[in-house]
Amino acid sequence: MTDTYKSELAFVNRFTRALPADKIAENYCRQVHGAAYSRAIPARVNNPQILTLNESLAIELGLAALLDDRQALAQVLGGNSLLAGMDPYAMAYGGHQFGNWAGQLGDGRAINLGELTDLQNKHWTLQLKGAGPTPYSRHADGRAVLRSSLREYLCSEAMFNLGVPTTRALSLVTTGDRVVRDMFYDGNPQAELGAIVCRVSPSFIRFGNFELPASRGDNDLLRNLLNFVIEADWEDLAIKLKSSVSDKATTDVYLEWFQRVCRLTQTMVVQWMRVGFVHGVMNTDNMSTLGLTIDYGPYGWVDDYNPDWTPNTTDAANRRYRFGNQAAIARWNLYQLANAIYPVVQDAETLQQILNNLPSEYEMEFADMMRLKLGFTHTSSCPVSLIDDLKKLLCLHATDMTLFFRLLSGFVPEDSDCHLPELLRPAFYDIHEMSLETMRSYQDWETRYRDGLLQDSCDQQQRKLLMNSINPAFVPRNYLAQQAIDAAEAGDMSIFSFLLNTLEKPYQDPSAANAHLAAKRPQWAANKAGCSMLSCSS
């Protein structure tokens, strides 16, 4: 039995009001047909305790009145209590996982508590991850553990402060229960600390929400879902949709929506590449229709620049979701979305044309982003060949990506005694092993880079400010997150709190107190579990 508390919050719950619900009320694993969701109540936990709370986000959401009673708030954020107006549910969706159609997936361990409007009348859905089983749990327990929950909270907030489109984290709660997980998939499961993250997003709708009804030929649900998404998230398109007087006019709205999803998705990937983030599980059920980074599973941060690196042990053999392949996978996923909405859109030619334009559009946006990372303000001063050659250069010797671009802002093209190999020395791993051939390649690239900057007519101070506003000093490196997890599991949240506070200002120059968080990965962490690659186990 779940308690319900009175609340002054305005829960609007548009998703559950507009779309069909599962007709079966019981919570057991099954195939759900003809429904966008199943109602699901979070399972009770033994002793919910708030480990960390995003108070600024809570205030923004209009939750300020709830902050005074942390004990009662813990009951809500731990799933034991509901606020009046909440309408909990788990979404039905399918997806392609590692390139293969997986059929029905759905919210197997996530329960949406409800949708509210904030002080600026923006819509936000609150979702508990790790809140217990749903009809989509596929015989799993629907729970999450502290290590993965802490990583999700840390990374989603770091991404927000880095300026990368993302879902947010409101709270991290321990449950007082133990959850059994086989972290390495080696037949040695262990009981770990249970935890729940409250995630916040304007929408949690994914590509897979459209794929599931399309795979079943349920075109009525598919159309209803498409209309709902447009009306809920795209005010200008919603006006066009309501005023459509012909099938062609309606189709044009659908096509414009798809084109916008494509652009948002590619922009998100460009921002991932900018900061060195690797999602690790770019399945279609993990792709947001709003172009938000969603579902922080075995993600990772590139230490030494390596386009072939993946953080996911499940992906170690094929490296489908490797760093340098993320744009291609995003396009592949958008193809699947196009296939899913085709039964409603019925315009294969225009859908294909939109998809055909994606590679060149991405390359243009990526090049513009890289020019800013390099300090250029004029496109003509930085040819694409300079960017392409830099990507090859970074692969010649293990080089810390974050440090490389941050240090690059100190390059003074007017100073003939300023040279990149010396300036960038702190970014190189095993500097004494750098070959003479690589050193010459740096010198050759430096000459072209210097010439380009001198043509760009931007003074050094302006250039440094520009570069340091786009190239972070701090990112949540894998080994730093693991250190925070190890301490948290031992009852010490100080390391996590210090790291989180630092990541709130990722573009700020390091101080004596936090300089160690901006250093390159230590050798001991190169292959240590949790510090390099991760499994899908949570």
Indicate the DSSP class of residue 460: H
Please answer whether residues 132 and 142 qualify as being in contact, where contact means their C-beta atoms are separated by less than 8 angstroms: yes
Please, which residues have CB within 8 angstroms of residue 69's CB and are 6 or more apart in sequence? none
Contact status, residue 410 vs residue 464, Cβ threshold 8 Å: yes
- Residue with the two structure tokens 């513009």: 368
CA atoms within 13 A on the CB side of 278: 29
- Helix (H), strand (E) at residue 209: helix 207-215
Strands (E), 119-189: 123-129, 144-145, 168-181
Give the Cβ contact number of residue 358 at 10 Å: 20
| CB neighbour class for 18 (10 Å; exposed up to 12, middle 13-18, buried from 19) | middle
Residues 6+ apart with CB under 8 A from 406: 468, 471, 472, 473, 518
93: three-class secondary structure by DSSP: coil
DSSP 380-439: GGS-HHHHHHHHHHHTTS-BBHHHHHHHHTT--TT-TT--HHHHTGGGBSSGGG--HHHH
CA dist 513 → 102, 437, 494, 501 (Å): 48, 38, 14, 12
Joined together, the tokens standing for residue 531 give 């510090």
CA 459 – CA 495 distance, rounded (Å): 39
**Cβ neighbours of residue 260 closer than 8 Å, sequence gap 6 or more:** 234, 237
- Catalytic choice (107, 285, 304, 456): 285
Question: Which segments within 233-301 are labelled E, that is strand?
Answer: 277-278, 300-301
Given CA atoms 191, 319, 533, 273 in this order, what sign does their dihedral have? negative
Cα atoms in the 13 Å half-sphere on the side-chain side of 348: 2
Structure tokens at 275: 């900061």
Q: What is the DSSP string of 469-514?
A: HHS-S----HHHHHHHHHHHHTT--HHHHHHHHHHTSTTSPP-TTT
Active site residue 285: yes
First to last CA, the chain: 27
Active-site residues, by number, are: 285
